[in-house]
Amino acid sequence: MTVDGLAFIGTSRFGYELSAAGLLQGLDRNRISAGIVAPVHRSDHDVDRANEDVASAARDSGGRLLALARVDPWDGDLARDHLVRAVRELGARGLFLHPAEEHFRINDPRVRLLAETAGELRIPVVVATGYQGFSEPVQMTQFARWCPDVPVVLTNGGQYNISGLAQTDAGLALQLDNVHVHTSGVYRDDWIELVVSRFGAGRILFASAAPVMNLQYELARVELAHVPQEAKELMLDGNVRRLFGLGEGA
């Protein structure tokens, strides 16, 4: 079985969109049983409504979609309230932060409240990572240290910005035991093999990042990786289920 570790639902002010029905069709075409879904940044910037819409789509999916809560640290204490409500009332299974689209630094002190709240709620955190000045891997290490008992998942292999020492920095972030990475968007064909060999297959998760990335292509990236079959099974299924509490039936 395969689970998509991250996709986006809604119409983003940044020009991409995907409906829940469209995502489920894509999952079916690629024989993917379930997916983790996050809200997009809406034009009206109503994060509470976006969380409601994604949570509703998850409920209507028959257990195939699990929702993440998206919040904006610039909202201060209200961001914490949005997160708590999304988890306790709407059923969100984790927190999604996008420093570049919400325009904040992931290691800004105001973000620490959300990291600590995730720890209190016992939920994982997914961070759009690799954006210069906002969420570079070295910045992520400080965030991960704020919540050492919380699984922190870095999108884009932790290295969306491929300049300089971004890939080396991603390796530094992975030295923290609570840090994991997504497979989507990595620019080196051997990055998956490097993570598995250095840090173990339990630290890397398949994600399509659809519709920002191409679901079929991102799936092929993992299926064609030169790693043992057991490692592929963890990346494609086991790790997502373990971190997000997704039952075996989905």
**Which ranges constitute the DSSP H helices of 122-214?**
137-146, 166-173, 191-199
In DSSP notation, 195-219 reads: HHHHH-GGGEE----BTTS-HHHHH
What ranges do the domains of the chain cover?
A: 3-244
User: The CATH number of 3-244 is which of 3.20.20.140, 3.40.50.740, 3.20.20.70, 3.30.70.2190?
Assistant: 3.20.20.140
Q: Would you call the peptide bond into 211 cis, given omega within 30 degrees of 0 as the criterion? A: yes
d(CA 99, CA 68): 16
Residues 6+ apart with CB under 8 A from 234: 201, 202
What tens-digit pLDDT sequence spans the chain (250 residues)?
A: 899 999 999 999 999 999 999 999 999 999 999 999 999 999 999 999 999 999 999 999 999 999 999 999 999 999 999 999 999 999 999 999 999 999 999 999 999 999 999 999 999 999 999 898 999 888 999 999 999 999 999 999 888 755 555 556 788 889 999 999 999 988 777 889 999 999 999 999 999 999 999 999 999 999 999 999 999 999 999 999 999 988 665 5
Q: Looking at residue 152, what is its pLDDT?
A: 98
